[in-house]
Amino acid sequence: MAKQPMLKFVKIERDMPEKREASVRSHDFDEIYAEFAKAKAEEQASRCSQCGVPYCQSHCPLHNNIPDWLNLTATGRLEEAYEISQATNTFPEICGRICPQDRLCEGNCVIEQSGHGTVTIGSVEKYITDTAWEQGWVKPAAPAVERSESVGIIGAGPGGLAAADMLRRAGVQVIVYDRYDRGGGLLTYGIPGFKLEKDVVMRRIKQLEDGGVRFVFNCNVGQDMSFDEIRDQHDAVIIATGVYKSRDLRGPGAGAKGIVKAIDYLTASNRTANFGDSVPEFESGELNAKGKRVVVIGGGDTAMDCLRTAIRQGAESVKCLYRRDRANMPGSQRETANAEEEGVQFEWLTAPKGFKGDETVEAVMVQKMRLGLPDATGRQSPELIEGADYEEPADLVIKALGFEPEDLQTLWGAPELEVTRWGTVKAEFTSGRTALPGVYAVGDIVRGASLVVWAIRDGRDCAEHVLKDFEKLAAIAAE
Ligand code: FAD
Ligand code: SF4
Ligand code: SF4
């Protein structure tokens, strides 16, 4: 009888790729997990029980065919595993690195539910596509036949890029406009290198360019070019601009020097540490944590990224103020544990009341909180404890309280672009169609701050509908 290659979860324990020691990794911006060796990837993939109804797949926003590519990896058929993996995911190696797997695919793996430890789906996904790159299996998105229609995409983040890839493969002429000088959006300038090294993103931009996608960088739509000009130049336009307006803090002293926005801080760090760019605010110390007592306010993934960046920049101390407790924080538990290992101190159940210092911040006035009854979302609401305030000395305070959409209607002089009451662009579910003919929207600008994997899903779905709409228009023209 043929040897059963799968269902090894009873004998083989869950194992992640090796994580670099905190004392070593906290001095550089390289990724913290090593690559699986071939034998390890095969072994870990073989733990999958090949469920008839794979919950991992139904909880992956891209509905990746996980059981199949695990099976092919376990049996050494990596090129086929890559073909299946890339059929549903434009950037599998990126998702393998930065999806919050504990909330998505891995968190719903049945062998995790039975107490055996989830299949390490994300690490295997990363291994398959990193190998595909090494082996030259990843090809440019060049089409077999060119089409005459052109699509302008505003925003080169994962949503815009996923749409660009699908449309270009179908032969559409694609131009991506971005106000940054490089593509990738938050993959490049938001997420730090220790989670996602930048050559992984840059090779994807090059792959798209090699396939014929044109990028127009340093083009801030609404300023360097109007929305109407872009609409006039293309048969369809996809808005994929993400959300960049930082939520702010109020209270005495909130405008002092030394209190900065997370996105400015992370962008400066990503530019200097990963690309060697010169950033005056980093060089002047304004956006550099070196030698400083750093306080980060917030409990989400952006806060975790700021905290761990400050550690790597050589801060004297790095503390996180968060108004709920560990169990109720929005950030990933895995990233919180990584931050703690690297030396971050968490001050749970604390919130800023104001800031001390004449011109420059010297301390955060902190008030202590306790958890009250659950709110409408089921999370316990923080309540103030009277008379328990204290001062937390600080030279640099980083505000990581979340992001909201910019006011595109005003910035673009486009009142006809419908937005929701949260300021996100109103777009049809799945297709991304807005109320404006030929204008679509995808990713965070529709969902609000979300995840890379959802932006990819939106971009892919939208591209499919743009193509369908082109067919419909062609049919009408032919009548
Ligand atoms: P973005 O990635 O924001 O890209 C939008 C692009 O549009 C940008 O390049 C921007 O320059 C461009 N743009 C905006 N306005 C204009 C304009 N007017 N003209 C021209 N160009 C414009 N998600 C995860 O899944 N895992 C993580 O670990 C994770 N970590 C994160 C860490 C941080 C610090 C942040 C801020 C977010 C993180 N996210 C993470 C969320 C994730 O990055 C986003 O959900 C995702 O990038 C959204 O993709 P997008 O394409 O919609 O927008
Ligand atoms: Fe899991 Fe994300 Fe990969 Fe889907 S894309 S299988 S959620 S890591
Ligand atoms: Fe394999 Fe887990 Fe998915 Fe089942 S849920 S198919 S065991 S990875």
Structurally, the chain folds into a number of domains equal to 3
- Return the ligand number nearest the Cα of 49: 3
Between CA 364 and CA 367 the distance in angstroms is 9
On whether both 111 and 21 belong to a single domain, the answer is yes
CATH number of the domain bearing residue 313: 3.50.50.60
**Separation CA 437–CA 20 (nearest Å):** 51
Asked if residue 263 and residue 232 are part of one domain, the reply reads no
How many A from CA of 152 to the centre of ligand 1? Answer: 18
Same domain, 101 and 166: no
CATH value at residue 73: 1.10.1060.10
Average pLDDT (14-26) is 91
Ligand 2 neighbour 104 (Cβ under 6 A): yes
404 pLDDT exceeds 70?
yes
- Nearest 5°: phi and psi at 392? -110, 110
Substitution candidate for ligand 3 out of 51, 72, 102, 123 with most atoms within 8 A of CB: 51
99 lines ligand 2 (CB under 6 A): yes
Let me know if residue 223 belongs to a domain. Answer: yes
> CA 339 to CA 125: how far, in whole Å?
24
332 falls within a domain: yes
Q: Does the pLDDT of residue 1 top 60, yes or no?
A: no
Residues 433 and 451 in one domain: yes
104 in the same domain as 75: yes
Half-sphere exposure of 307 (CA within 13 A, CB side): 30
**Burial degree of 356 (CB within 10 A; 0-12, 13-18, 19+):** middle
Whether residues 351 and 448 fall in one domain: no
Lowest mean pLDDT among 58-67, 103-112, 207-216, 304-313: 103-112
Q: Whose CA is nearest to atom 5 of ligand 3?
A: 109
Measure Cα distances from 474 to 235, 463, 477, 478 in Å: 12, 17, 5, 6
The overall average pLDDT reported for the chain is 95
Residue % of the chain over a pLDDT of 90: 86
- With 0.90 as the threshold, say if the pTM is over it: yes
* ipTM field: 0.99
Considering only the C-alpha atoms of the chain, give the largest distance between any 2 of them, rounded to a whole number of Å. Answer: 79
In a domain, 3, yes or no: no
And the tokens for 66? 């996980």
Q: Is 67 in the pocket of ligand 3 (CB under 6 A)?
A: yes
Does residue 452 lie in a domain region?
Answer: yes
Nearest bound ligand to the CA of residue 460: 1
Report pLDDT digits (tens) over 443-476. Answer: 999 999 999 999 999 999 999 999 999 999 989 8
Q: Which of 421, 423, 324, 425 is nearest to 377 (CA)?
A: 324
Verify whether ligand 3 is closer than 6 Å to residue 111 (CB atom): yes
Would you tell me how many other CB atoms lie within 10 Å of the CB of residue 226? 14
> 2 lies in a domain?
no
- Taking CA atoms only, the protein residue closest to ligand 2 atom 7 is 60
Q: Which domain holds residue 291?
A: 248-403
| Residues whose CB falls within 8 Å of the CB of residue 311, separated by 6 or more in sequence, listed in order | 26, 318, 339, 342, 343, 344
Domain finish residue from 89, 112, 135: 135
Where a domain ends, among 73, 102, 135? 135
The residue with tokens 């305030």 is 389
Q: Is the domain of 253 the same as that of 385? A: yes
Phi, psi angles (nearest 5°) of residue 425: -75, 135
Of the candidates 368, 403, 438, which is a domain's last residue?
403
71 and 113 in a single domain? The answer is yes
Residues 173 and 230 in one domain: yes
* Binding site membership of 191 for ligand 1 (Cβ less than 6 Å): yes
Residues 420 and 298 in one domain: no
What is the CA(186)–ligand 1 centre distance, in A?
Answer: 4
Give the whole-angstrom CA distance, residue 61 versus residue 116: 24
Quick: pLDDT tens for 76-133: 999 999 999 999 999 999 999 999 998 999 999 999 878 889 999 999 999 999 999 9
User: pLDDT by residue (tens digit) across 234-271?
Assistant: 999 999 999 999 999 988 999 999 999 999 999 999 99
Residue 239 tokens read as 């808005």
In a domain? residue 20: yes
**Beta carbons within 10 angstroms of residue 402's beta carbon:** 17
In terms of domains, do 183 and 275 share one?
no
Asked, for residue 300, whether it belongs to a domain, the answer is: yes
In a domain, 438, yes or no: yes
**pLDDT given at position 135:** 97
27-50: pLDDT as tens digits: 999 999 988 888 888 889 999 999
Q: Are residues 395 and 416 in the same domain?
A: no
SS3 label, residue 316: coil
Distance 192 CA to ligand 2 centre (A): 19
Question: For position 2, what pLDDT does the model report?
Answer: 54
